[in-house]
Amino acid sequence: MLTVLSALLGPHRAVSTYAFLQTWGLGLVGGALMIAIVATLFLLGDGGKHEHHSFMTVPVLSATPVNGDLKNGVIASVRLPDGSATSITSTETPVSQTVGTSACIEKRVYVDSGEPRYRFKLPRFCDAG
CATH of the domain at 94: 2.40.50
pLDDT at 84: 93
Handedness of CA 89, 65, 87, 81 (dihedral sign): negative
CA distance 64 to 11: 67
pLDDT at 12: 85
Are residues 108 and 59 located together in one domain of the fold?
yes
Angle in degrees, 0-180, between the axes of helices 11-44 and 2-9, rounded to the nearest 10: 100
Domain residue limits at 56: 50-128
Are residues 67 and 116 located together in one domain of the fold?
yes
CA distance 16 to 85: 64
Question: Residue 56: which region, alpha, beta or left (left: phi > 0; alpha: psi -120 to 50)?
Answer: beta
Query: In whole angstroms, what separates CA 72 from the centre of its chain?
Result: 18
CA distance 48 to 50: 6
pLDDT at 1: 81
CA distance 122 to 99: 9
pLDDT at 46: 67
71 vs 55 pLDDT, higher one: 55
56 vs 44 pLDDT, higher one: 56
Are residues 70 and 115 located together in one domain of the fold?
yes
Mean pLDDT (whole number) for 70-94: 92
Are residues 88 and 112 located together in one domain of the fold?
yes
CA distance 87 to 106: 13
Mean pLDDT (whole number) for 113-118: 87
Number of domains in the chain: 2
Are residues 84 and 107 located together in one domain of the fold?
yes
pLDDT at 21: 87
Are residues 64 and 94 located together in one domain of the fold?
yes
CA distance 7 to 101: 76
Are residues 73 and 122 located together in one domain of the fold?
yes
Q: Is the distance from CB of 37 to CB of 98 less than 8 angstroms?
A: no
pLDDT at 32: 96
Q: What is the mean pLDDT of the chain?
A: 89
Does 128 score more than 70 pLDDT?
Answer: no
